[in-house]
């Protein structure tokens, strides 16, 4: 009896980490964009949806295998992210924050319902990419998909970390996020850096979209809304604008959700996520990893 409860707990941890790694990948894009231009990119969840469709197209129509399809989706979404930034967000860089936020909402609606026009509202099934193999370890079941998902997202996060910390581009990104004007004076082309940030964030979202399609088997044009909101919760939980915060926040949110589901309250899962959001905002708005910044007059 005791061992079956521990098994249950470990099973929920495995499920939670798989789900959490998707949230983390989406949250990274949110947090990077927020860190660099202080914009909540509401369209980010919908970019994930586009990524899922791009992956679906690559697998079913172009008959690619998993990795090339993943890369295809990532490149497609990176381009999409840059185009969106150039058309919709760049002209508003000096406008009020509310104007930018409303534009982001507009882009999000456009992707959702424009996507619906393009691919119809019909739910599509992802082809099985992985074998249905399951590995059992002391009674805890690992699906093949779980392992691939954790592995893919870990690799992507490590790559991101290396890019941000050790490359010239990453250094420039950090400089722009620290002080845009000073970075401009130091000869950094801030426009390019911002586009680069959107490209990376959108590519990560696309990867999350493909993984999500593979994991849940179905995709539809509105699939990005709820994961997008939850990834945002994850980003706030870890401290928005902070890259490691988004990773930890995503994994934590995934764990909390699967524990709530495991307790038999899965219909309340979303409410719990938003409750956490409000509590974090009230108690420590800067998030787990954030520092308090004094307001200057």
Partner 1 sequence: MRNLFNRQNLVALLGIVLLYAVIQGLIVFDIMPPFYKLTLILICIYIILSTSLNLINGITGQFSIGHAGFMAVGAYISAIVTAIHHGPLLLGLLAGAIAAALAGLVVGLPTLRLNGDYLAIATLGFGEIVRIVFLNTEYVGGAAGFTLSSKITWTWAFVLMVLSVILMKNFVSSTHGRACISIRENEIAAESMGVNTTKYKVIAFTMGAFFAGLAGGIYANYMYIIQPMTFSFLKSFDILVMVVLGGLGSMTGGIVGAIVMTLASALLASVPEWRLVITAVLLIAMMLFRPTGILGTKEFSLSFLGKKGDKNATSKN
Termini Cα distance of the chain: 61
Instruction: Kindly state whether residue 292 participates in binding partner 1, applying the rule CB under 8 A.
Output: no
**Smaller CB distance to partner 1: residue 101 or 169?**
101
How crowded is residue 123: how many other Cβ atoms within 10 Å of its Cβ? 12
> Segment contacting partner 1 (CB under 8 A): 75-83, 91-99, 144-152, 196-204?
91-99
Q: Does 281 bind partner 1 (CB under 8 A)?
A: yes
26 in contact with partner 1 (CB under 8 A): no
* Nearest distance from C-beta of residue 140 to partner 1, angstroms: 30
123 touches partner 1 by CB under 8 A: no
Among residues 79, 99, 123, 182, which is the contact residue for partner 1, using CB under 8 A?
Answer: 99
Q: Quick one: which of 136, 267, 292, 294 contacts partner 1 (CB under 8 A)? A: 267
Q: Binding of partner 1 at residue 146 (CB under 8 A)?
A: no
Give the interface segment with partner 1, choosing from 7-15, 21-29, 106-114, 134-142 (CB under 8 A): 106-114
- 246 is an interface residue for partner 1 by CB under 8 A: no
Is residue 290 near partner 1 by the rule CB under 8 A?
no
| Binding residues for partner 1 (CB under 8 A) | 38, 40, 88, 91-92, 95-103, 105-110, 112-114, 116-117, 229, 232-233, 236, 267-268, 270-271, 274-275, 277-278, 281-282, 285, 295, 297
């Amino acid at each position: 009896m005791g061992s079956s409860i521990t098994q249950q707990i470990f099973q929920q941890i495995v499920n939670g980490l798989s789900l959490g790694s998707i949230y983390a990948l989406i949250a990274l894009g949110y947090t990077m964009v927020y860190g660099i231009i202080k914009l909540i990119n509401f369209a980010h969840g919908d970019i994930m949806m586009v990524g899922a469709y791009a992956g679906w197209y690559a697998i079913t129509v172009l008959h690619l295998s998993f990795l090339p399809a993943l890369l295809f989706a990532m490149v497609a979404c990176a381009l999409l992210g840059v185009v969106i930034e150039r058309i919709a967000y760049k002209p508003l860089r000096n406008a009020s924050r509310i104007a930018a936020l409303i534009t982001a909402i507009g882009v999000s609606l456009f992707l959702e319902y424009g996507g619906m026009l393009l691919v119809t509202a019909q739910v599509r099934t992802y082809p099985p990419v992985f074998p249905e193999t399951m590995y059992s370890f002391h009674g805890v079941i690992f699906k093949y998909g779980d392992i691939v998902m954790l592995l893919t997202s870990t690799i992507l996060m490590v790559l991101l970390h290396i890019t941000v910390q050790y490359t010239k581009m990453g250094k420039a990104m950090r400089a722009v996020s620290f002080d845009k004007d000073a970075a401009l004076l130091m000869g950094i082309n801030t426009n390019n850096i911002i586009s680069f940030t959107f490209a990376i964030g959108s590519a990560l979202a696309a990867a999350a979209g493909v993984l999500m399609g593979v994991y849940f088997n179905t995709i539809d044009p509105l699939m990005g809304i709820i994961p997008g909101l939850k990834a945002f919760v994850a980003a706030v939980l870890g401290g928005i604008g902070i890259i490691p915060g988004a990773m930890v926040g995503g994994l934590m949110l995934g764990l909390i959700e699967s524990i709530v589901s495991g307790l038999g309250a899965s219909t309340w899962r979303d409410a719990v996520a938003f409750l956490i959001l409000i509590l974090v905002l009230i108690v420590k708005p800067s998030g787990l990893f954030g520092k308090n910044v004094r307001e200057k007059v």
